[in-house]
Amino acid sequence: MKRTILLLLTAMFAFCNTAIADDVKYYKDGPVSEVTYVKIKLGHFEDYVKFLDLKYKKEMEAFKKAGLILGYGVYSANPRTPAEPNLILVVTYPNMAAFDKSEQFESIGKQVSGSMDQQNKEAMDRNEWREIMGSEVIRELTLK
């Protein structure tokens, strides 16, 4: 009888120990990045990069100064096929909550780049230079 109880206790302890080990998280949630894939149309690379250097950079720096973003990056890419982007934009936010602060982004955007109507018109004009191929949100996992 004692042997059976001891065997049951040992089995329960082994099961509990395994369950506790499964609950261990080997990472913590890190910053969130929005990655946008852009295909610049032939002959418009300099036009688009000029926009990025003047207006885009100014807005990103204002977001960074306000603490809404950690940083941003512009990357050239060598597409393997015509269906792939040749420019990638990355904006990094401290966390998902910061990513969702649309009112604050709008407010700063209006101060830096003008009214929403003006921003939308300029975005439509840029469609002559580029095609947004899509975007995704990714989160860094910081390993412990």
- Kindly report the CATH number assigned to the domain that includes residue 52: 3.30.70.100
| Domain count for the chain | 1
Model confidence at 122, in pLDDT bands (50, 70, 90)? confident
Domain of 80, in residue numbers: 27-143
Structure tokens at 121: 């018109």
DSSP category for residue 130: E
- Residue 31 CA to residue 69 CA, distance in Å, equals 10
Looking at the predicted structure, is the pLDDT value of residue 16 above 60?
no
* Average pLDDT of span 106-123: 76
Q: Is residue 103 part of a domain?
A: yes
Q: Is residue 109 part of a domain?
A: yes
pLDDT the model gives residue 117: 74
Q: Is residue 61 part of a domain?
A: yes
Whether residue 35 contacts residue 134, with contact meaning beta carbons closer than 8 Å, is answered with no
Provide the whole-model pTM.
0.78
